A and B are shown apart, each in its own frame.
Chain A
Amino acid sequence: MDTNATPVHLVTADPPAKGKKQGGSLWLYAVVRLLLIIPTIFILTTLVFILMRLTGDPITAAMGGRLSAAELAQRVHAAGYDRPMITQYLQYLGHTFTGNFGTTMSDNRPVTQILTTYGAATLELAFYSLIVAFVVGIPLGMIAAYYRDKGQDAWLRVFAILWYATPVFFSGLLLKLVFSIWLGWLPVAGRATTGSEITLQFLPHRTNIYLIDALRTGNVSIVWDVLQHAVLPAVALGLLTAGIFLRLVRANVIGTLSTDYVEAARSRGVGEFRLVRKHAYRPALIPIITVMGLQIALLLGGAVLTETTFEWRGLGFELVQYLDARDFVAVQGIVILLAIIVAVTNFIVDLVAALIDPRVRY
């Protein structure tokens, strides 16, 4: 009986036990996690395809009023939009898989080119605002946690909620009004002045990340110009995220601050600053990092609004232009690219979490 029971137990319990194994291989975790991205992206591409096609084909949407019925039918036929939906879907999946997102209706450019050109701008903006969010959100969150339920904490939390409650385009408008119009310190909109833009256009192998390009020109005034243009959008978008970071850090550090080992460290005479900075903050990092990963989606959504407010020519700004032009091929491409960015960021975030904490691994 006993000899019989053991293998049965092993066979049935083995697959789930794999997930519970402590400190498993990081590589295995990375591979499994990477494979899990595929269904996510697949679902989103399918969803977007179905939703966009519910409205009809892109050619009718874009050219509806401007062409005669016969011309329209001809163009629809030429582009293959009159074939069965399933054929179109499979072809679309294949194209997306190979990185071919089609050609835009309104200005006849390959969507891939739009994505690389303007994606860089959006990444640049997201990067700046993340810096703002980290610099503002994390220290303030630690302060709030340390002074829990006292005056400082109450004010910081109210501010965090206020930041959340302020739509990024409204804070953007206010910042613009105060710092660009009334004080005249910073430029109103755009990514650089026309002069700098032209210089950057002619740079060979440009990355379209203006700061890098500007640094490569070696021209200090262009670098300064680019940085000046980035301040307001980065602050507007960064503060939105900073509010969330603040709350996140606060809640998690409160959790670790009241643990026994922090108490033990305090009784050993560890300074209060070090207590918060090292003993309480470090273990709170895992949930913080995981949730920060989820904020990428929020950040990208916010980027669409911020770019529109500041005429920052990134993916979000272009998305709105193409939406206005009813150019759904371009819209579909941009939306899917953003979905992929979100999925990949979440993957990276999970990987970082696994690197820091072996318990997360499979």
Chain B
Amino acid sequence: MRIVLIALFLFSPTVFAKKKVIYKYKEYEKFDLGDLEIKGSIVAPGDLSVKERRRKTFERNLLQRRSFDKEMIQDIKFLR
């Protein structure tokens, strides 16, 4: 048991120590765009198309006549 504990104590800095990471970038890279090839098939229609959608309908209040109550009162007022 003692031996195990001593071993742990001795090796712990090496086990928990962080590794030093070194990043390296490519110094030069070349793309030949003319040489690129995409494999697949075209699914979109050839000519321009617009999907029909329901148009917004605005409800305007057109003139309505529900009663002639105002005229009834006016007739009485116009009597005298």
Partners in one complex: no
A interface, CB within 8 angstroms of B? none
B interface, CB within 8 angstroms of A? none
